Amino acid sequence: MSEWTLFEVFVRSKHGLNHKHVGSVHAADAAMAIDNARELYTRRNEGVSLWVVPSALITASSPDDKDPLFAPSEDKIYRHASFYELPPEVGHM
């Protein structure tokens, strides 16, 4: 058990377009990880498709880099598409 690999699990819900991260499972290999993910994360009818990815293969940003990576975008409100006047014919987007 301690030798099992940790996998991150992504589920696509019935109406959702993209797979969303829902948690992780332990398994001996990817096929077993799919089965285990099915048992843990789709038993209440949550999804129609599963992805599993070995957790070790995910490269994450470092918490120490939070400021240099993300702070500069805080004051650049012009990057949000909130300055356009929508013609009334467009209606709700």
Partner 1 sequence: MNAVMHEDLIQYLLRLGDSAMVQAQRLCQWCGRAPALEEELALMNVGLDLVGQARNWLEYAAELGGDGRDADHLAFRRDERAYRNLLLVEQPNGDYAVTVLKQFFYDAWHFAVLQGLAGSSDARVQGIAAKALKEVTYHLRRSGEWVERLGDGTEESRQRMLAALPQLWRFTVELVDADAVEQRLFQAGIIGNPEQIALDWQRQVEDTFERATLPVPQPASHFYLSGRQGVHSEHLGLLLAEMQFLPRAYPDATW
| Contact positions vs partner 1 (CB under 8 A) | 1, 4, 25-28, 31-32, 35-36, 38-40, 43
Is 54:24 a contact under the CB 8 Å cutoff? no
Q: Which is nearer to partner 1, 2 or 61 (CB)?
A: 2
Kind and range of the H or E element at 15?
A: none
Kind and range of the H or E element at 65?
A: none
Q: Which is nearer to partner 1, 1 or 86 (CB)?
A: 1
Q: Minimum CB separation from partner 1 for residue 19, in Å? A: 20
Q: Which is nearer to partner 1, 31 or 56 (CB)?
A: 31
Q: Minimum CB separation from partner 1 for residue 20, in Å? A: 20
Q: Minimum CB separation from partner 1 for residue 63, in Å? A: 28
Dist. CA 17–CA 9, nearest whole Å:
16
49-54 β-sheet, strand order: 20-27, 5-12, 49-54
> What's the DSSP call for residue 93?
-
